[in-house]
Amino acid sequence: MTYDRLVCANCAAPVTEGRCPVCRANRARLEQEQGGPFGGLNPALLMLLALLVGVLAVLAARTA
């Protein structure tokens, strides 16, 4: 999940602006959650990567 479109329930501002302590805390929490090896990739790129791995697996199975 990205926080670029989230609106804070406390101050009704976008979370990315970090106007209140609640926004800043949630922004920091979301940034930590996205820190994994594939956290910065968008879903379309992840699907393309999965498709590429699948094609490579099929090609490897044909040659074996």
pLDDT in tens, 6-18: 888 889 888 888 8
Range of the domain at 53: 40-64
pLDDT in tens, 21-31: 988 888 888 77
* Contacts (Cβ under 8 Å, ≥6 apart) of 15: 3, 6, 7, 8, 23, 26, 27, 30
H or E element that contains 14: none
Same-domain status, 28 and 1: yes
Q: What is the DSSP letter of 35?
A: T
Same-domain status, 29 and 11: yes
- Provide the number of structural domains found in the chain: 2
* Contacts (Cβ under 8 Å, ≥6 apart) of 46: 38
**Tokens 């992840």 correspond to what residue?**
46
pTM beyond 0.75, yes or no: no
Same-domain status, 2 and 28: yes
